[in-house]
Chain A
Amino acid sequence: MSISVPCRTSSAYFCSYHNVPGIVTDKAMGTQLKYVAGALPLKMHVLKKQVISGRSSSSNINALSNILASANGSAVLDGPQKAVKSSETALILIRHGESLWNEKNLFTGCVDVPLSQRGVEEAIEAGRRISNIPIDMIYTSALIRAQMTAMLAMTKHRKKKVPVIAHNEDERSIKWSKIFSDQTSSEVIPVVTSWQLNERMYGELQGLNKKETAKKYGKQKVHEWRRSYDIPPPNGENLAMCAERAVAYFEEEIEPQLLAGKNILIAAHGNSLRSIIMHLDKLTSQEVIDLELATGIPMLYIAKDGKILRRGSPTCPRTVSVYAFSNDLADYRQQLESDEE
């Protein structure tokens, strides 16, 4: 049927996609539903509890929710043992929010600065938005602000699984972190931390005040370092180098899991996530420079039949609107809601 797709990134992105639906308004239905039509072989559902554009229900919506209700029986969704009965998996990207050095306007890079009060709130808000999307594995960087973002977001998650950080630095940590119950292990969401997902390393600018640096090196040079694709700050990484290690890690470790049926959350940083988005959306280096990923707003991708397609940003559950869900995710959400009743 129809869904409006809320997307927090620049709208230019939707225009450049061939295989992402456009948005058309259909007045003939008598409600102000928006159609999403396109090449995607997915039907999108309107959830029965949602109110669309002020009208509480139409016969179309009721019919759909009946379809959903009957579909629930076949799709066993909540049990930790079974994945969503489809070939579809979710990939969520979350960029962490404000850190204590963001507050002070210092170049951070790979210095391990934690979140500020506001960054904590952004993480929790992000968690509300993804609370209904199944997650089987979490990947973060080695920096605490991304890890905290993931963990704070997961405090809001509706599923009963619990994220547990995997430790394999040495023999002792492997031995000490063992879980001795199968039941418990099956309810674990492994959290993998890796430096390859770290923020771009900013070399000799790390810790410097942005204004001072502009005075010292000149505004133009600083702008080059910050906004070019291949000019690194002194002894630092350029975006190309950051992309190389982040995308390599994604292709080796994350993509296989995703395509094998695991729903994945990646909590990382502006530059490492842009690199991954560049890879997924096949952006040019000029396009990726212009890409700004909003902090704390999750970005959803769906992997299906070997392709990974962007779906937009799930809105806050309290907003009266419709998620950018596929019908399987919609089924899943229904399942969660009926379980809780």
Chain B
Amino acid sequence: MSALISNVVPSSGFCMYDRGFSSTYDSGVGVIPNSTFNAHALRINSSKASETSIFHFFRKNKINLNSVTCAKSSSAPDEPKKSPKSSETALILIRHGESLWNQKNLFTGCVDVPLSRRGVDEAIEAGRRISNIPIDMIYTSSLIRAQMTAMLAMTKHRKKKVPIVVHKEDDRSIAWSRIFSEQTSSEVIPVVTAWQLNERMYGELQGLNKKETAEKYGKKKVHEWRRSYDIPPPNGESLAMCAERAVAYFKDQIEPQLLAGKNILIAAHGNSLRSIIMHLDKLTSQEVIDLELSTGIPMLYIAKGGKISRRGSPTCPRTVGVYAYTSNLARYRELLENMEE
């Protein structure tokens, strides 16, 4: 099995984090993003003897890779029925983009404010970047800006499955949302909305202008509330409290699905996603405070062999670059492209 990759020019520094996480990976896939060089070293080792390994070696200078050839898989699986034949699943995290209150510089927290025009564009752009990654389930918060981000991103997704929001609030909504075709049900990506993935609740600062709040309480206090780990704003949540409910939800509901073989997309908020990243990457509270997750840029994790490891941010498909893919995801992408021909 192999995939045809020609004239691939590696891009530089596709990892949106400013720290060298890749050095901690020991699952056989090493990604060394390096913004000072124009090349990556990407080595993929497959533990299965029957699989062909794909090795890409890049030296310090850019190299045109035009002779790595792989044959197509003869048993081309049709996507809805089979996931990539591996024990590997993808976890994608997307932080929603600009909201209408971001534009106005107001503290938002759990007030359910929708996306601005720019936030809509960011969501669609994020969708382009993940269009080739299989997704079996989607989790969002109960706030519309995260839900819209997920749905807008999925309008760009290449697979034929359709995201459907799951309704379980009461008997009526369960009865009314039933699907009566097996075929259709198998092509559904369930979307689960959960308040536990909401943004940190900002208490009495919600709706306040950031400048005014600094004037009222003092810059230092506001900085403390915004950037400490355990000091909550009045009647609000600290980052620790947000992390507690977000990570608990992740461990209860999402992790089991991921480790059981489902590819998952989580569209949520800055603080709930930082909490999850803190859990996945085992960050200290100081490290998580310094962590900034870009809006609208998806972050990819791969779960394999019980471990969940960060892989970076898939670049825009239109950029001539190399995805932070594993060999399986690369093959999957090839498959999608072949099917469209």
Q: Which residues of A contact B (CB under 8 A)?
A: 100-101, 104, 106, 109-117, 120, 142-144, 147-148, 151-152, 154-156, 162-167, 169, 172-173, 176-181, 183-185, 191, 195, 198, 201, 203-209, 212
Contacts and interface: CB of A to CB of B under 8 A. Distances in A.
Interface SS, B side = mixed
B195 A207 contact: no
Contacts of B164: 111-113
Given A155-B114, A207-B179, 6 more contacts: A144-B151, A152-B120, A162-B113, A164-B112, A166-B112, A180-B206
A120 B176 contact: no
A177 B112 contact: yes
A187 B173 CA distance: 32
Interface in B272-311: none
Please give me the 6 A-B residue pairs with the lowest Cβ-Cβ distance, nearest first: A179-B207, A207-B179, A112-B165, A165-B112, A184-B207, A151-B114
Given A106-B184, A114-B165, A184-B208, A198 B176 contact: yes
A7 B147 CA distance: 34
B209 interface: yes
Nearest to B162: A100
B169 A169 contact: yes
B179 A206 contact: yes
Nearest to A178: B206
Contacts of B203: 180
Contacts of B112: 164-167, 177, 191
Contacts of B114: 151, 154-155, 163, 165
A112 to B, nearest CB: 4
B148 A179 contact: no
Among B142, B209, B212: residue with most chain A CB under 10 A: B142
A147 B148 CA distance: 9
A99 to B, nearest CB: 9
Residue with the greatest number of chain B CB neighbours at <10 A, chosen from A114, A116, A154, A156? A114
B144 A180 contact: no
A116 B124 CA distance: 12
Contacts of A120: 120, 152, 155
A206 B180 contact: yes
Nearest to A161: B100
Nearest to B103: A162
Nearest to B145: A151
Nearest to B165: A112
Nearest to A162: B100
A204 B175 CA distance: 11
Contacts of B212: 181
B195 A148 contact: no
Contacts of B87: none
A155 B120 contact: yes
A112 B177 contact: yes
A185 B208 CA distance: 10
B155 to A, nearest CB: 5
B208 A180 contact: yes
Contacts of B163: 100, 113-114
B117 interface: yes
A100 B184 CA distance: 12
Interface residues of B, number: 54
Nearest to B113: A164
B155 A111 contact: no
Contacts of A203: 180
27 contacts: A100-B163, A112-B164, A112-B167, A113-B162, A114-B154, A120-B152, A120-B155, A143-B165, A151-B115, A151-B144, A162-B100, A173-B195, A176-B110, A177-B111, A178-B111, A178-B206, A179-B111, A180-B208, A181-B208, A181-B212, A203-B180, A205-B180, A207-B180, A207-B184, A208-B180, A208-B184, A209-B181
B172 interface: yes
Contact of A148 (B110, B117, B151): B151
B116 A111 contact: no
B172 A111 contact: no
A41 B322 CA distance: 67
Given A117-B155, A205-B180, A181 B104 contact: no
Contact of A201 (B154, B176, B179): B176
Give the residue among A106, A113, A169, A179 with the most B Cβ atoms within 10 A: A179
Interface string B20-57: 00000000000000000000000000000000000000
B133 to A, nearest CB: 18
B40 to A, nearest CB: 33
Contacts of B220: none
Contact of A111 (B179, B205, B207, B209): B179
Nearest to A208: B181
A245 B162 CA distance: 29
B58 interface: no
Contact of A151 (B148, B166, B173, B204): B148
Contacts of B179: 111, 206-207
B101 interface: yes
A181 B111 CA distance: 12
Contacts of B167: 112, 142
Contacts of B180: 203-208
Interface string B40-84: 000000000000000000000000000000000000000000000
B92 interface: no
B201 interface: yes
B148 A148 contact: yes
A120 B116 CA distance: 14
A43 B279 CA distance: 65
B173 A184 contact: no
A179 B176 CA distance: 33
Contacts of B162: 100-101, 104, 113
